[in-house]
Amino acid sequence: MTSASKRELIARRVAREFKDGFYVNLGIGIPTLAASYIPEGCEVILHSENGLMGIGDYPLEGEEDADLINAGKETVTTIPGSSFFNAAESFAIVRGGHIDITVIGAMEVDQHGDLANWMIPGKMIKGMGGAMDLVAGSKRVIIAMQHTGPDGASKILKKCTLPLTGVKVVDTIVTEMAVMKVTPEGLLLLEVQPGFTTQQVLEATDADLIVKEPVPTCPL
Amino acid sequence: MNKVGTIEAAMERIQDGATLLMGGFGVCGIPENLVRALQQRGTKNLTIVSNNAGVEGAGIGLLIENGQVRKMISSYIGENKVLEQKVIAGEIEVELNPQGTLAERVRAGGAGIPAFFTPTGVGTPVAEGKETRNFNGRDYLMETAIRGDVAFVKAYKADKHGNLVYRMTARNFNPVMATAADFVVAEVEEIVEAGQLDAEQIVTPSVFVDMVIKGERYDKRIEKRVNRQKSGAGI
């Protein structure tokens, strides 16, 4: 599977979690792609933590405005019904539990729902930006990432090894291989992506997965 | 009342070693004329509180390259390679805060609140050395307020009293920074008479603003120009 098709598979599956009327924050990378697969008839309002509710399409060439960007510093537009607010209010929205879903990438996630996605010891630290607030405050956090790292090692661990972004914050993990949910009993294998078997998922995963056969395959 | 001043007069208010609050998100909505003037003046040993650290050749990047910054208090500095080198060389100290914590610390500073508890960062490196307290079964970190000696903010328009309105996401941290410094300078694209801004629409009330400057030149650099044909929605 190419990297692009993995990313698309993950983004498509993430978008199925969106419900009509949801306010959603999408992180940079694969999470952003989920905006392209929002289900038909489902109106989702996208939050940008730099101070915008209601992100629209990217602008047409020549219609970019330097005063209108998203949290990834990309030029964007707004939808009808959008609003602007300052940084403190933007994070009051986040911390106050007003965001229905945050979708974010990860370096490591573990079976307890701990997340590491902002620093690698010994490397230049760029900063956490809004990630720690988003995972601490959103009603539900979905991790969208490839199942394994470039070296083939599982990114879904028994226990995170990198410095954390949040403790017990993750609800659901979506990868190109599977969908998993953090439960009080442990990490439950909810669905297997098309083209993969439960056995392949288990072999590619360091974390202990709870398997309740039969494990359904994600609908395409 | 007339708070319209000159950029030279604004520069008189900031001394070596000052803590400077600055609005902006990336290089969107930054007080670029005040930054250029500060670079020319060469004020040193600054502690700058700003979400980001500019880019090479623009915004706070100019001050960093000119050796004027001792410490950055920010949430994300990944866009500035020169800063990276200066951090590795030990020339600049960086204190990273979660973005919402940074915004709230400054908001608290402007609102007379010395500290507050937030769920953000519990159990992470951010929590090191900070008091944790449990409220209603959940752990929270104590974070303290930030205030500055001077704040430089960018607004779209001001009236002569110093009431400010902003333009789209160029608002970002500017209204918060404008509340939390001993001397607040707002640079704007247009200054109008008192009464010409709709009082219902004012975002920063004049009471927070000490001086208003009309910016001479706006480059308004775009960090990442992305157009529609490349992708669907623009997050």
Q: With respect to residue A219, please indicate whether it lies within any of the assigned structural domains.
A: no
What's CA B81's distance to the chain center, in Å?
Answer: 20
> What is the pLDDT averaged over residues A187-196?
97
Q: B19 vs chain A: nearest CA distance in angstroms? A: 20
Q: Could you tell me the residue ranges of all domains in chain B?
A: 7-214
Residue A114, Cβ density class (10 Å: 0-12 exposed, 13-18 middle, ≥19 buried): buried
Q: With respect to residue A143, please indicate whether it lies within any of the assigned structural domains.
A: yes
pLDDT given at position B234: 52
> What is the pLDDT averaged over residues B107-125?
98
Q: With respect to residue A217, please indicate whether it lies within any of the assigned structural domains.
A: no
What is the Cα–Cα distance from B13 to A9, expressed in whole angstroms? 56
Maximum Cα–Cα distance for chain A, whole Å?
Answer: 54
ipTM of the complex: 0.97
> What is the pLDDT averaged over residues B133-157?
98
CA proximity to B31, closest of B143, B131, B129, B177: B177
What share of chain A in percent tops pLDDT 70? 100
**Catalytic one among A17, A49, A108, A176?**
A49
Indicate the residue of B106, B172, B222 with minimum beta-carbon distance to A75.
Answer: B222
Q: A151 vs chain B: nearest CA distance in angstroms? A: 24
**Radius of gyration (Cα) for chain B, nearest Å?**
18
The amino acid present at B96, given as its one-letter code, is L
pLDDT digits (tens, 9 = 90+) for A108-165: 999 999 999 999 998 888 999 999 999 999 999 999 999 999 999 999 999 999 999 9
The band of B79, judged by pLDDT with boundaries at 50, 70 and 90, is confident
B120–A84 CB contact, under 8 Å: no
pLDDT given at position B12: 97
pLDDT digits (tens, 9 = 90+) for A65-96: 999 999 999 999 999 999 999 999 999 999 99
- The residue written with tokens 């792609």 in the block is A33
**Radius of gyration (Cα) for chain A, nearest Å?**
17
Residue A49: half-sphere exposure toward Cβ, Cα within 13 Å? 33
CB contact set of A28 (below 8 Å; sequence gap of 6+): A71, A72, A105, B235
A95–B233 CB contact, under 8 Å: no
Q: With respect to residue A216, please indicate whether it lies within any of the assigned structural domains.
A: no
Q: With respect to residue A198, please indicate whether it lies within any of the assigned structural domains.
A: yes
Beta bridge partners of B154: B187
Residues of B in contact with A26 (CB under 8 A): 235
For residue A21, the tally of other CB atoms under 10 A from its CB is: 10
Q: With respect to residue A64, please indicate whether it lies within any of the assigned structural domains.
A: yes
> What is the pLDDT averaged over residues B15-33?
98
**pLDDT surpassing 90 at residue A205:** yes
Q: B75 vs chain A: nearest CA distance in angstroms? A: 5
Residues of A in contact with B75 (CB under 8 A): 127-130
What is the Cα–Cα distance from A136 to A140, expressed in whole angstroms? 9
What's the mean per-residue pLDDT of chain B? 96
B98–A132 CB contact, under 8 Å: yes
CB B235 within 8 A of CB A35: yes
DSSP annotation of B225 reads -
**pLDDT surpassing 70 at residue A202:** yes
pLDDT given at position B197: 98
What is the Cα–Cα distance from A136 to A85, expressed in whole angstroms? 21
Q: Active site includes A74? A: no
pLDDT digits (tens, 9 = 90+) for A32-70: 999 999 999 999 999 999 999 999 999 999 999 999 999
Tokens of A147: 């199942």
Q: What is the 3-state secondary structure (H, E, C) of chain A?
A: CCHHHHHHHHHHHHHCCCCCCCEEEECCCHHHHHHHHCCCCCCCEEEECCCEEEECECCCCCCCCCCCECCCCEECCEEEEEEECCHHHHHHHHHCCCCCEEEECCCEEECCCCEECCCCCCCCCCCCCCHHHHHHHCCCEEEECCCECCCCCECEECCCCCCCCECCCCCEEECCCEEEEEECCEEEEEEECCCCCHHHHHHCCCCCEECCCCCCECCC
What's CA B176's distance to the chain center, in Å?
Answer: 8
pLDDT digits (tens, 9 = 90+) for B30-46: 999 999 999 999 999 99
CATH code of the domain covering residue A19: 3.40.1080.10
Contact with chain A for residue B117, Cβ under 8 A:
no
Q: Which domain holds residue A117?
A: 3-210
pLDDT given at position B229: 77
pLDDT digits (tens, 9 = 90+) for B163-178: 999 999 999 999 999 9
When scoring B83, B120, B202 by the number of chain A Cβ atoms within 10 A, the one with the most, hence best to mutate, is: B120
- pTM metric for this prediction: 0.97
**pLDDT surpassing 70 at residue B232:** no
The band of B186, judged by pLDDT with boundaries at 50, 70 and 90, is very high
| Helix-helix angle B99-111:A87-95, to 10 degrees | 120
Residues of A in contact with B99 (CB under 8 A): 49, 87, 91, 128-130, 133
A61 → chain B, closest CA residue: B227
Q: Which of residues 145-164 of B touch A (CB under 8 A)?
A: 156
pLDDT given at position B95: 97
**pLDDT surpassing 70 at residue B221:** yes
B124–A68 CB contact, under 8 Å: no
For residue B70, the tally of other CB atoms under 10 A from its CB is: 15
The band of B233, judged by pLDDT with boundaries at 50, 70 and 90, is low
**pLDDT surpassing 60 at residue B140:** yes
A129–B99 CB contact, under 8 Å: yes
Q: A204 vs chain B: nearest CA distance in angstroms? A: 27
Q: Is B103 helix (H, G, I), strand (E, B) or coil?
A: helix
Please state which architecture CATH assigns to domain B7-214. Answer: 3-Layer(aba) Sandwich (3.40)
How do beta strands B19-22 and B46-49 pair? parallel
Residue B11, Cβ density class (10 Å: 0-12 exposed, 13-18 middle, ≥19 buried): middle
**pLDDT surpassing 60 at residue A190:** yes
Residue A192: half-sphere exposure toward Cβ, Cα within 13 Å? 20
B75–A52 CB contact, under 8 Å: no
Quote the number of domains for chain A: 1
